[in-house]
Amino acid sequence: MIVGLGIDLIDSARVRRELSRGAWVPEDGIFTESEILQRSSGRGHAALGYAACFAAKEAALKALGMEVKSLACFREVELLSDSDHNLTLKLNGQAQAASRTLGVQRAFVAVTATERMSGAMVVLESQIFSRRQE
């Protein structure tokens, strides 16, 4: 059963501008060290990687029904990629608590990034079924 759905789009050029002026560094609290390491190894496409990552974080927070009150909440959602480029979400802090409240068992994330726009969609799934559905 789907218990959360979030989608987000971001202007890729905005992300390039932010990165070129030195914004969105680890101290800003948006990206984790793991995310920075993975995005920085993007062979010239780091800005697109950061844009897709940011969109995934926003989409996950929307799917969880969380309000963004500070930049710190972005660090509670971590987008990771394995050696086969499979994406996973790691939730911490309030994001993890929200997922437990929803009964989230699995999270699906899809990202896309072009020179113009980047986006992401997150689907949260639970194995909890009501008696009416059984």
Q: Hey, which of 2-11, 15-24, 66-75, 83-92 has the most confident mean pLDDT?
A: 2-11
**Class of CATH domain 2-133:** alpha beta
Which pLDDT score, from 0 to 100, does residue 112 have?
Answer: 96
pLDDT value of position 134: 47
CA 80, 36, 33, 55 torsion-angle sign: negative
Helical segments of 1-134, H only: 12-20, 33-40, 46-64, 93-102
Does the pLDDT value for residue 27 go beyond 70? Answer: no
